[in-house]
Every structure is written in structure tokens, then in C-alpha cells.
Chain A
Amino acid sequence: MSRHLLAGLLLFAGAVLADPPLRFLQARLYEAPPGVETLAAYFTIENPGSADRVLRRFRSDDFARVELHETRLEDGVAHMVPVPALTVPAGGRVALAPGGLHLMLIEPKRPLRAGDHFLLEIEEADGTLHQLLLPLRRREDAGGHEHHSHHD
């Protein structure tokens, strides 16, 4: 049994290794107004592989806590809903964007200055670890297009 399990695991690992890795795009961490200890990070995840991938853990040495949340508008009321795991479908993409999915980085442990970079670790359900460098930026002027609906 253990032999079969091992073979299965190796096959599984082989399949995962053969799959192209996730791509993280347009990562940015937005500067918080004075006195605010919670920052929001946004990025887009592309899954060029043939299997769904699940992100389940987010952490950073520079923050006490990192949590994935989704802003949902229901009858004009904004709710924040914790998202314990995020599935990036095979061949698809998921965008974290203002007004939708966002990563909350809570209680910074070092001073935050626009232009600095912060290291974020993202772990997949299978243990694959991603490291993502987030530049701290002011919110840019986006004209009338500040809002992006997220799609998957």
C-alpha cells in the first residue's frame, strides 16, 4: 500500500512539476493613510497549467497578519468576507482588485515608505511556495477607471 501511495505521490508530484507555474502579475501594495495599520495588496494570478491550483496561505515577515478578503456589495452595502482558500482555475486567471478580492496586510513591523518593497509568501495547497515582491505605492490616478470588476 505504501508502495502504491509513494508511486501515486511521485506521479502527482511529476504532474505538478510538469505543469507550468502560476504567474503573478501587476502586484502592488497600496500605501495606507496616516494612522491606518491595515494595507491592501492587489495582483493578478494566471494559471497556464492544466489543473486547478489552490492558494491557501499568505504570510509576510513584515506584517503581523496577512488575510485574503473579498468585498461584496449586497443591496448597496459593502461586506468583507474572509476567503480561506482561492482557486485559480486551469487556464484561467483571478484578479485581486479594488472593490473585490484583496489581500489585507495587518500591523506592519517596519516603517512603510512609498517605493519600498515587501516580501509576500504565498503557499499553495500542495505546498508549493511562491515569493512575491510587492512595491509600496500611492494609489494611482486612474481617471474614471479606478474600479475593475474581478473575473475568473
Chain B
Amino acid sequence: MALARPAATRLLAAVLAVCAAAAGLWLARGGSAPPPVQTATLYPDDFPPVAEFTLYAADGTPWNRDALAGRWSLIFFGFTHCPDVCPMTLHTLAGVWRDLEPEQRERLRVVFVSVDPERDRGARLGEYLAYFSPDFLGLWGEDDALAPLIDSLGAVYHRETAPDGTVTVDHSAGLFLLGPDTRPRAHFAAPHRRDALHHDLTLLLGAER
């Protein structure tokens, strides 16, 4: 008992010292905890990297999982004939892209994955994306080729051809952020806001250097 008290006191002092140090750090960082994400939903830390896949860029270059590695990837699934959600989202992404610092852009890649291979294969996809930003990467592939990436992220799409030949495509409207190791880090649910996306991307890219 005689020993316990000083020991407890020392422990308390140590705890307080740690707290003080933490508080000092906290104050040194500007007096507030790191701001929380505004729009992202974070994947758990043990979520596996996306499955192996092979898709094609507009110029025919194959892109697989390893090609995507090394940079962060912000992925959006859509199709070029989509009149409302896709141009709206790509327009917002073009704005976010301009808002990012050059150093952030070097670490990130915006990827538009077409889920309408019949109409979006090849050069057409490149011309479409260049309208929004020459930096955006477009990928396309047949349904079998799309499946590993779609399934790894929990994304969905559904194509339907009406009797009059009109093709409608329902698709996930969210954005998926992969880290440089291709492990999913965050999902951004639609509707997308340029300022919130910029905020969260800055936060997430800044947290892992």
C-alpha cells in the first residue's frame, strides 16, 4: 500500500504528461482536431485491394490493376450517352480537378469507366472525356472485363434495350477512391458537391504521404 500510492501518483503524472503533450500537439496543429470528412464514407482499414482486371483506355492501351497502382484513383462509372448525371458529375469533377494543387493532381487520377462497351469503345470515349478534362482517364471493357472492378467496389449497373432500340443504363452514381495500393479508401455518394469533394480529397490524400 505504501508503494502503491507513489506508483499511482507517478502513473497519474505520466498520464497527465502524455495528455499535456497531446494537448500541446493538438494546440500546435491550430487548436482543433483534424476536420472530419464532409461527404466521404470510409472503407475499413482491412478492406482488400480491388480484384485483378483488364480494361482498355480510349487509345487501346490495356489497363490492369497494377497500371492503376502508384497513384490515387477516383473512379466514376457511367456512359457517354447519359444526358444528365454523367455530364453533371464529370463537370463537377473537372471543377474539383482545377481546384486541386498541382502536387495533388500528380498523386491522383480521375477515371471514368464506361459500362456501355457497345457504344463507348475506343476513340469516342477519349473525345468525350477530353471535353471535360484532357487529364481524365477513360476505360472501357466488355461486361466480363468490368465485373471484377465493379464487384470489388460494390458498384452496380444495368443496361436495358427498349423495343424501339433505346438503350437505358442504370448505374452507381457514387465515386470510389482507391489508394495508391488499389485498396478502396472512400466512397462519395451522389449528389456530388465540388467544395465537399475537394475538401475530403485534400484531407484523405494529405493523411497518407
Binding site for B on A (CB under 8 A): 30, 32-40, 69, 71, 73, 76-80, 98-99, 102, 104, 139, 141-147, 149
Complex CA gap A128/B166 in Å reads 30
Q: Is B173's beta carbon under 8 Å from chain A?
A: yes
Q: Chain A nearest CB: distance from B24 CB in Å?
A: 35
Q: Chain A nearest CB: distance from B124 CB in Å?
A: 5
Complex CA gap A79/B172 in Å reads 9
Given contacts A73-B173, A80-B84, A139-B87, 6 further A-B contacts (CB under 8 A): A33-B132, A36-B80, A77-B172, A78-B190, A102-B84, A147-B88
Contacting A at CB under 8 A, from B153-171, are 156, 168, 170-171
Chain B residues, Cβ within 8 Å of A30: 87
* Contact residue among B83, B91, B92, B195 (Cβ-Cβ distance under 8 Å from A38): B83
Known contacts A33-B132, A35-B80, A77-B156, A143 near B87 by CB under 8 Å: no
Chain B residues, Cβ within 8 Å of A37: 81
Chain A residues, Cβ within 8 Å of B83: 32, 36, 38-40, 69, 102, 104
Contacting A at CB under 8 A, from B74-97, are 80-81, 83-85, 87-88, 91-92, 95
* Contact residue among B91, B156, B190 (Cβ-Cβ distance under 8 Å from A139): B91
Q: Is B191's beta carbon under 8 Å from chain A?
A: yes
Complex CA gap A37/B128 in Å reads 12
| Residues of chain B at interface, number, CB under 8 A | 32
Contacting A at CB under 8 A, from B18-60, are none
Q: In chain B, what residue has the closest Cβ to A99?
A: B191
Known contacts A35-B127, A78-B85, A99-B85, A146 near B168 by CB under 8 Å: no
Q: Chain A nearest CB: distance from B174 CB in Å?
A: 5
* Contact residue among A32, A36, A39, A73 (Cβ-Cβ distance under 8 Å from B190): A73
Q: Is the CB of A40 within 8 A of B87?
A: yes
Complex CA gap A38/B108 in Å reads 30
Chain B residues, Cβ within 8 Å of A104: 83
Known contacts A80-B168, A144-B193, A38 near B81 by CB under 8 Å: yes
Q: Is the CB of B128 within 8 A of A36?
A: yes
Chain A residues, Cβ within 8 Å of B95: 141-143, 146
Complex CA gap A32/B80 in Å reads 10
Q: Is B196's beta carbon under 8 Å from chain A?
A: yes
Complex CA gap A69/B168 in Å reads 12
Q: Chain B nearest CB: distance from A39 CB in Å?
A: 7
Chain A residues, Cβ within 8 Å of B92: 146
